[in-house]
Structure 1
């Protein structure tokens, strides 16, 4: 017998050979979108501030072109605007409460749900790109979870899901609107109270909040007119690109709005504004590509914001001079720039006060080049350095919840809480009192908020004007005639603008005259 060792038997061929590991495919569009969402959720950042640098970095690296950047922008803002709806759908597809899902995973799921229910991306592509994103940023284990959940989401259309997850209108109208239109319930209730009207009115408003707003520019008096901007745009395009006619409002000047259009840019077409004689609408593109914006002769400013400043400038005074104007809370400077130019045309002088020094510098930059005298100071409007009765016109554009600018700051609807009203109320009342003290008898005060919430508008004014044991310090003026051509201004005397009616942010204006 041989003692030679026997060779081991060759393994039998496997009927299912092991797959080689495949690295996740890098998708710069979804990676940028996820990074932006994480910054918004983790750091309370604003999408309009964090997204442009991420896009620019990816563009410099050659990872994105303009079309990719536009898609990334749509994914970010669409996910933020509609996340209330998407979370209701996801809650029906996940076997545990959503607050027990890791936030980075939930962001991937919301992005995937937006692709499935809010875009025309094919379902198979929406699921596969979300799974690849999950593999890239979360790992293969959690990618399997993402895949399973989004396949459930893909089985139904948006309308079919809403029919299942939204409360019935008859039993819970506010809950129904909250899910269908992706607004927190308390915001729906507050907007409905301020708007009044029926179901069609509130649904139109909520739907308008979910639409991408146009960019609106404001020519700065003494430096440019709206006609100048339109003429320059026409000359730059051989007469093309200048449009007359109707259109929506535009971006706020910065305190509540997106500084520029969502997404990547290039040139754009200019059209006349609807209501403000200083307004020009940018149909698409980057405001910085407009020569007048680059050199400071115009700035980004919602048309509703322009109208509130113009109303103050046009308000009738009861005798006396018209030489000294005050912007009590001037940052970042859009309304101040408009008022400074108008004041200079009349030989008046604007004092622009802003509590935060860095915002005061923004005001100074916005006013640079204004013909005529003006001054910018860093000062707390509740502790003013000026003497009482020193001004003929005063603008009190007070800090507020920003519920009127949800089109531009979609994350604000999820970040604000009802308790914010209690914190802001005393400040709003204090600033209005100081504004009324700062104006002379017969002078005008404009109380302005970028919020239609009744607790920030009529309630504040009513409380300040109500002085127990004393006569009223001021009287309301009818602001409606000072917004010529603007329809649907209600019964007055205050003015409330609306996105769905006027194409502007939901700006509130109360005009007051100090009683002699």
Structure 2
């Protein structure tokens, strides 16, 4: 991007007026309030007004609009960003810059806010939220991107003038100049020296809430990995993820993506990895036969679809398999499962509790032959009672904290709290119960979360096995290896856990159960 307005004499602070006329040090010669620098020397722009940029750079404007939607409206960055990129008609290069800037500022928010707190003369909560978002964007450019300091300062101040106002631009200019005086490692050393707790030091360095650092360390141990991997895991959460693509089996191909610069995925068939940009430029993405889906999600869906059933004796009148996606919205796994079902002569019943998300599921399934799927709107907790024992394969990808997808949903780490675990637990257990009830004897149930937290994974599985005598645990690690292009080593104690720092996937958890026939349960009781 072209950057204008090279600052002159960067180290020189201008007083801005005659000392005799300015009895209030916070006001200029005309009586207007300037930036508040506290005890530190006040710093105004070192550029003449004619040299200052006043128009917001489009890529930075997109990043700002994303942060404002996230902060003000509780929006999801991955949904807002493509819309704003298209609205402002960014080219591929600018779209990449906007993506890195927005996601990086969101990921680094905890660290950047701690640094900003050292350079602003009031609590950050007292700042205009729009000003705070601009400061986060400027700080990420200065400390987390290869943007020249003069460009980061000039363009961020210009953005402030355009979207907030001229007055706050002076504050932004002063604060970011202080931030630019040290490198990120120097700021981190200063912050960490004042923090005696090791977990909180990790929280500052890797920009995660302290409770999430503790939860992820506990999760590593619960799934058979070393707690000393925590730094690698936190770093992986902060790395910009590669876009994962899947071609719907029997319907789509990877050809257009590969011709457009993507490369074939190395974990599962039918997948590709892309550097990003506006994927809507590919017709296959527009028509839904080529979809964005994390490879971890692809793997667990394929594992449930491929797990062997404990079938009754074959007879000529046996019906085709019926599959159930219990929590289908917004439709990514449903589309893949629907395509696999169509290939095998099976049918998919996709359930979603919210009508607008059910519409998203229908849209996702649209490329799949219509006779292979049905979308239902209803409460998954009651579906097992409404359709008892009717499905051969059931996947319950239950609502969870999403701690396994922090790299793709950077804002979620700041929205979640430990209370969410307690609130989601009863729902997760009720949905798994319903999934088991809906499964036919000999059928398979896949319990899936995008979280490695034991409260949402292994504890829920143990509770189900303790409560019920009609299920047995299958080897989920072996099931994943059976559909992967090479062994994953994700299994532990019968369940399986994928990891960003090991598999370059979201931290997807999978437990597989088989529904036992009544005769088997009776024999077990007699023994």
TM-score w.r.t. structure 2 length? 0.81
- Paired residues for 1:290-329 under 5 Å: 290-320=282-312, 323-329=321-327
**Structure 2 unaligned spans of 5+:** 1-28, 31-46, 313-317, 518-527
Residue 490 of structure 1: CA displacement? 4.2
User: Structure 2 vs 1, CA of residues 88 and 389 (structure 1 numbering), >3 Å: closer, same or farther?
Assistant: same
Residue 360 of structure 1: CA displacement? 1.6
Secondary structure of the structure 1 residue equivalent to 2:106: helix
**Structure 1 unaligned spans of 5+:** 1-16, 235-240, 242-267
- Paired residues for 1:224-235 under 5 Å: 224=252, 228-230=253-255
Deviations 1:148-203 (A, max 9, x none): 2222211110011111112578x422111111111111111111111135565111
Kindly indicate whether the alpha-carbon contact (under 8 Å) linking 1:488 and 1:501 is maintained by their aligned counterparts in 2: no
- Answering whether residue 501 of structure 2 is matched by residue 500 of structure 1, we say yes
- Paired residues for 1:210-249 under 5 Å: 210-224=238-252, 228-230=253-255, 241=259
Residue 37 of structure 1: CA displacement? 1.3
Residue 420 of structure 1: CA displacement? 1.5
Cα distance between partner residues in 2 of 1:486 and 1:203:
24
Partner of 2:460: 460
Which deviates further from its counterpart, 117-126 or 410-419? 117-126
Cα distance between partner residues in 2 of 1:233 and 1:411:
28
The one of 246, 249, 272 equivalent to 1:280 is 272
User: Structure 2 vs 1, CA of residues 58 and 368 (structure 1 numbering), >3 Å: closer, same or farther?
Assistant: closer
Secondary structure of the structure 2 residue equivalent to 1:445: strand
Partner of 2:15: none
Partner of 1:373: 372
Cα distance between partner residues in 2 of 1:277 and 1:20:
58
Secondary structure of the structure 1 residue equivalent to 2:502: helix
Cα distance between partner residues in 1 of 2:121 and 2:48:
31
The one of 196, 204, 211 equivalent to 1:186 is 211
Q: What is the count of residue pairs matched by the alignment? A: 458
Cα distance between partner residues in 1 of 2:437 and 2:159:
57
Partner of 1:342: 340
- Paired residues for 1:14-53 under 5 Å: 25-29=54-58, 30-53=60-83
Cα distance between partner residues in 2 of 1:198 and 1:167:
26
Residue 444 of structure 1: CA displacement? 0.8
Secondary structure of the structure 2 residue equivalent to 1:383: helix
Cα distance between partner residues in 2 of 1:44 and 1:304:
26
- Paired residues for 1:57-72 under 5 Å: 57-59=87-89, 65-72=91-98
Deviations 1:257-314 (A, max 9, x none): xxxxxxxxxxx31322222212122244433233332333232211110111111112
Cα distance between partner residues in 1 of 2:283 and 2:335:
17
Kindly indicate whether the alpha-carbon contact (under 8 Å) linking 2:92 and 2:277 is maintained by their aligned counterparts in 1: no
Residue 498 of structure 1: CA displacement? 0.7
User: Structure 2 vs 1, CA of residues 374 and 104 (structure 1 numbering), >3 Å: closer, same or farther?
Assistant: closer
Partner of 1:208: 236
Deviations 1:431-465 (A, max 9, x none): 00000101122211000011111111112222232
Deviations 1:318-339 (A, max 9, x none): 2236612111111122212222
Cα distance between partner residues in 1 of 2:292 and 2:169:
42
Cα distance between partner residues in 1 of 2:194 and 2:479:
43
Cα distance between partner residues in 2 of 1:403 and 1:20:
48
Cα distance between partner residues in 2 of 1:281 and 1:138:
38
User: Structure 2 vs 1, CA of residues 286 and 65 (structure 1 numbering), >3 Å: closer, same or farther?
Assistant: closer
User: Structure 2 vs 1, CA of residues 36 and 368 (structure 1 numbering), >3 Å: closer, same or farther?
Assistant: closer
Kindly indicate whether the alpha-carbon contact (under 8 Å) linking 2:390 and 2:438 is maintained by their aligned counterparts in 1: yes
Cα distance between partner residues in 1 of 2:382 and 2:250:
32
Partner of 2:9: none
Secondary structure of the structure 2 residue equivalent to 1:166: helix
TM-score w.r.t. structure 1 length? 0.83
Which deviates further from its counterpart, 282-291 or 77-86? 282-291
Deviations 1:84-117 (A, max 9, x none): 1111111112233222222222112111111110
Kindly indicate whether the alpha-carbon contact (under 8 Å) linking 1:28 and 1:58 is maintained by their aligned counterparts in 2: no
Residue 52 of structure 1: CA displacement? 2.9
Cα distance between partner residues in 2 of 1:353 and 1:478:
26
Cα distance between partner residues in 2 of 1:480 and 1:442:
20
Cα distance between partner residues in 2 of 1:445 and 1:20:
68
Kindly indicate whether the alpha-carbon contact (under 8 Å) linking 1:489 and 1:495 is maintained by their aligned counterparts in 2: yes
Secondary structure of the structure 2 residue equivalent to 1:382: helix
- Paired residues for 1:102-501 under 5 Å: 102-166=128-192, 171-196=196-221, 197-198=225-226, 200-224=228-252, 228-230=253-255, 241=259, 268-320=260-312, 323-371=321-369, 372-384=371-383, 386-467=386-467, 472-484=469-481, 485-501=486-502
The one of 84, 90, 94 equivalent to 2:120 is 94
Cα distance between partner residues in 2 of 1:331 and 1:447:
16
Residue 48 of structure 1: CA displacement? 2.3
Secondary structure of the structure 2 residue equivalent to 1:32: helix
Kindly indicate whether the alpha-carbon contact (under 8 Å) linking 2:477 and 2:489 is maintained by their aligned counterparts in 1: no
Residue 24 of structure 1: CA displacement? 5.7
Cα distance between partner residues in 2 of 1:146 and 1:358:
40
Kindly indicate whether the alpha-carbon contact (under 8 Å) linking 1:32 and 1:54 is maintained by their aligned counterparts in 2: yes
Kindly indicate whether the alpha-carbon contact (under 8 Å) linking 2:326 and 2:380 is maintained by their aligned counterparts in 1: yes
Residue 347 of structure 1: CA displacement? 2.4
User: Structure 2 vs 1, CA of residues 139 and 295 (structure 1 numbering), >3 Å: closer, same or farther?
Assistant: closer
Secondary structure of the structure 1 residue equivalent to 2:493: coil
The one of 88, 98, 105 equivalent to 1:79 is 105
